[in-house]
Amino acid sequence: MASNNLIDGRAIAKQLLAELCARIAALKARGVHPGLAFVRVGDDPASKVYVGRKEQACHDLGIQSETKVLPENTTEDQLLKLLQELNGDSRLHGILVQAPLPVHIRQSMVYSSLRPEKDVDGFHPVNVGKLMLGDPSGFVPCTPAGIRELLARSNIKTEGAEVVVLGRGNIVGKPMAAMLCQKQPHANATVTLCHSGTRDIAAHCQRADILIAAMGVPRFVTANMIKPGAVVIDGGVNRISDQATKSGTRLVGDVDFDSVQPIAGKITPNPGGVGPMTIAMLMHNTIRAAEMTLG
């Protein structure tokens, strides 16, 4: 399989993390040791894996981290009480509450309870509002921020480009569309946001210079939906059955990679594309949160 059109998310994430090392050293020289808290509710297997990878990234960079694991039956009030304690802990510059949360806990209440300056996931209403206003002082969600970095560091021109974003979720789709239509460098695109209510999604995809898939539908994007030479970014994470694996399942993206790669100008693999960038941007946001405490 040809790989000369692959966007290597692991390599770009490694580059970004290496750049953070000098900033971390500068913080420590001034007596600030960056700290990040993870909060996980329940025993979702995927959440355990994701938090584990983020903990490892903290360890590798020399960021202090601590993980609070609460039982599935934790009440919303109990979780909010813990978050208030973390808000007041000066050792911690960032707080990440791992999704998904149990159905009886409202995500909106959880995100709005964090101090905006510790919301390194970018979901507090203040940070969401700053993103919409083009105010760079807020934090932006890590996955769309990572995708923007992938595009910028791969020398993919977004200015004036036709960008189609598949999916209107609050974690990727909506913030991605908001970021790329800003009048800023590495943005300034013409953005179409498609979703389950869109008529003839394929027609929109076929005119995209850059297609970003974040629908949560396995292998939704097929070869007939791609304009030759288009840039394809796969932000999907879907678990499907596969009896050939030990677990009986495996992860696939929203893009049918094997059929789309020969047509695309550039394409992210999955895994190895967007995922590593999400973690790298979380580390970036945490370092920035620590730097903000210095005034």
Catalytic residue among 28, 44, 48, 54: 54
Contact 65, 37 (CB under 8 A): yes
Catalytic residue among 118, 119, 121, 130: 121
For the question of residue 54 being annotated catalytic, the response is yes
Q: In sequence order, what are the residues at sequence separation of 6 or more whose Cβ sits closer than 8 angstroms to the Cβ of residue 142? A: 120, 121, 122, 278, 279, 281, 282, 285
CB atoms within 10 A of CB 168: 18
Buried b (16+ CB within 10 A) or exposed e, 84-101: eebbeeeebbbbbbbbeb
For the question of residue 121 being annotated catalytic, the response is yes
Catalytic residue among 98, 119, 256, 261: 98
Placement of tokens 């083009």 in the chain = 134
* Residue positions annotated with a catalytic role: 54, 98, 121
